[in-house]
Copies of this chain bind each other. A is one copy, B any other.
Amino acid sequence: MNFLEERIIKDGIVKPGNVLKVDGFLNHQIDVALLDQMGLEFKRRFANKTVTKILTIEASGIGIACMVARHFGVPVVFAKKSKSVNIDGDMYIAEVESFTHKCKNQVIVSKKFLSSNDHVLIIDDFLANGCALQGLIAITESAGATVEGIGIAIEKGFQIGGTVIRNLGYQLESLAIVDSMDSENGTIKFKEQNNG
């Protein structure tokens, strides 16, 4: 197990309905030293990539993105989520439908901050069905920028998002891929990865 998998085992809480709570260290209270270690690991996994921007989405992606960005020496751009905004020509907007919540959301980035010269590493905390991530990819493509890779803290390997993104040919690196969880006894099984 790697450092993030160990931390999930130690402090993650499995709830019924395949819910994994990591609010003690990742998305409500944040262990900044852990995020820094994640940044270092993403830098290692994407060492052969030229990256000019880290792209994430509010709110819980921002902390990770900032700590990752330190290791790449590039700025973060975070997309905003909105149920509906007045369309402004200066924004890239992706409509994404949540498979789980049956609602539509907009993912929005100002055109000032992504251009065709950008090489983008997309960072987020969770990947399940991948709706938010699909919006971030769509926005990067709209800008004519290049998606160099996608770094995720925790992927739910039993949901479809990761498969879809890998099928599309993107380099997707998830630090922990949960294969299965059991809320009755609190166990979590991770997919084995060879990232040595």
What is the interface of chain A, defined by CB distance below 8 A to chain B? 23-25, 28-33, 35-36, 58-59, 62-63, 65-67, 69-70, 73-78, 80, 109-110, 112-113
> CA–CA, A67 to B30, complex, Å?
12
Partner of A36, one of B58, B70, B77: B70
Q: Is B30 a contact partner of A77 (Cβ separation < 8 A)?
A: yes
**Given that A36-B70, A59-B59, A66-B35 are contacting pairs, would A75 and B110 also be in contact in the complex, using a CB cutoff of 8 Å?**
no
Q: Which residues from chain B contact A76 at a C-beta distance below 8 Å?
A: 29-30, 32, 63
Distance (whole angstroms) from the CB of A126 to the closest CB of chain B? 16
A74 proximity list for chain B (CB < 8 A): 32
What would 23 A/B residue contacts be, using CB atoms closer than 8 Å? A23-B110, A23-B112, A24-B112, A24-B113, A25-B75, A28-B110, A28-B113, A29-B76, A29-B110, A29-B112, A30-B62, A30-B76, A31-B75, A32-B69, A32-B70, A58-B59, A59-B62, A59-B78, A63-B63, A63-B65, A63-B76, A66-B66, A66-B67
Known A-B contacts A63-B63, A67-B66; the reply to A77 vs B35 at CB < 8 A is: no
Q: What's the minimum C-beta distance from A68 to chain B, rounded to whole angstroms?
A: 9
- Name the residue of chain B whose CB is nearest to the CB of A23: B110
Q: Which of B32, B58, B110, B112 touches A58 (beta carbons < 8 Å)?
A: B58
C-alpha spacing A35/B33, complex, angstroms: 16
A112–B13 Cα distance when bound, in Å, is: 13
Once bound together, how far apart are the Cα atoms of A139 and B111, in whole Å? Answer: 37
Complex alpha-carbon distance, A99 and B113, angstroms: 31
Given A23-B113, A30-B77, A32-B76, 6 more A-B residue pairs with CB atoms under 8 Å apart are A29-B76, A30-B75, A32-B66, A62-B66, A63-B65, A63-B66
- Distance to closest chain B CB from A29 (angstroms): 4
